[in-house]
A and B are shown apart, each in its own frame.
Chain A
C-alpha cells in the first residue's frame, strides 16, 4: 500500500482533533499547552504532505517557520504559565476564569 495524500491529511485531521479536544477539555494549562503543540504538529504534517505531493518547497518553508515560531511560543507560553502559577498558585483553567465582564 502506497500512502496517498489523503492518508496524510486524515492523519493530520485526527491529530488536530485530538489536540483540539485536549485544548477544550483538559483543565491543566500544561496539558492544554501540549495539546496546542499537537495541533501545530497536525498542520506541520499536512504542510509537509502537501509539499511532498505538490512537488514544491513552499510547504517545507512554512514548516520551518512553524517550528521556529513554536519554539518561541514555548518559551513565551511557559513563561506566562509559570508567572501565572506564581501569582495564583494554580494552573487549572477553571480557577483562573477572571477574563470576563
Chain B
C-alpha cells in the first residue's frame, strides 16, 4: 500500500465513518490531519532528486481504443509540493469550518470528498485518472455552494460554476482524447510517464499538436480562470462557504496549472509555440483587466476572488515563457498562492462571522479589536502582493527572471510589462482592502465576539508559517521541482 493511496482513502474512510454516525467534525479533522501527517512524512523522506517515488499501479477499467485506465500514483518534485499544499489547506479549511452547522454530516462529508479528489488529482500519474479525480472534487463543491453558501443567489451561482467548469472539463476531455487518438493504437496509453517517454522521442505531428494544445489550454484554462473565462471564480468564491472557497481557490484551481505543466506544455511543445501569443494576450487580460476590475470591487469577498484570478496571470506568464526558471517559479508560486489565498479567505470568513458584513465601506477597525487577526491578515496580504520573505515573492521573482530570459519582442514584452505593472496594481487594491477592513475605527458593522479562538489561530498560522518558510527557504520546493522538470521537459 502506497502512502499516496492512503491520501485518497483516508478522507473516503472518513466519509464512511461520518455516514455511520461518527461525530462529523472530529472525524473530518482527524482524517485531514492524518493526511497532512502522511504528506509531511513523504515530503521529509522524499530525496530522489527529481525522480518518481511511491509509484503504485492498480488496473481499474478498460475502454476499447484507449487502453486500460489504471489508478497510477506517483510523486516527483512537481506534484509533491502541491500535495503538501493540499494537506495544509485542507487542515486549515476544516479548522475554519463551523462547529455547529445544519446537516453537519453532509457538510463535512462534502469537504472530505473535495479533499480526497484534490489529493487524487495531484497524486495520479494517469491522464484519465487525474481527470476523474478532479471531476470528483467538483461535484461536492457544487453542493457546498448550493446548500451552505452565502447570499440569495447561491443556487444559481452554484449552477453557473458547475456548468462552467464541466464545460471546461469537456473541452479538456476533447483535448485529452485528441492526444490519445493521435498516437498509434499499439502504443496508446493513459500512463503519463509512458506518454512522456514516447512523446519526448517521437513528438506528435505539428498540426495535431496545435489543435490538441488549444483544447488543453482552453480546458485547463477554464478551470484556472484564464481571462476571459474567469467570471465564475469571484462569484462562486463569494457565495461559497469559507472552507469550500479555501479548498477551491487554494487547491483545486491549481489543478489547471498543474495540468498545463504536466501535460499540455511538455507533450505539445510545438502547439505551445503556436498558441503562445494567444496565451500571452489572455494573461495580459488576467493581470491588467482583472487587476483593474479588482480595484473597483466594493466587497471584501469579491475583491479576494478577483485578486486570486489576477494572480493566475503570473502562473500563466511562467508557463508561457517555458524556461526552467519560470516553470520552477510556477510550481513555487502555485503553492505560495494557494497558501496565501486560502489564508485570506479564512481571514475574510472570520471577519464576516464576527461582523456579518462583507461591504468594505461598512467595515473597519478590526485590527484594533482583534490585533492578532490584523497582524496575520497583514502578513497574508503582504504575501499576496509579493513581499520578500514570503513565498509568493520567491515564485514571482523566478517567473520574472525566467520570462525575461526567454524575452522576445511583441506580446512577450507586453506580458512582462503587464506583470510588473500588475505588482503595483495588486498592492493598490490589497492595501486599500486592508485599510478599509482592518485599520481605522469600527465601521457601521459592529464587531461582535471575542478574539481568535485557538483553532482559528492555528488555521491562520498554518498558511502564514508555510509562506514564511517558503520565503526564506524556497529551495525546499525549487530544487526538487527543477530537477523533476528537467526530466519531464525536453529542453
A and B touch in the complex (CB under 8 A): no
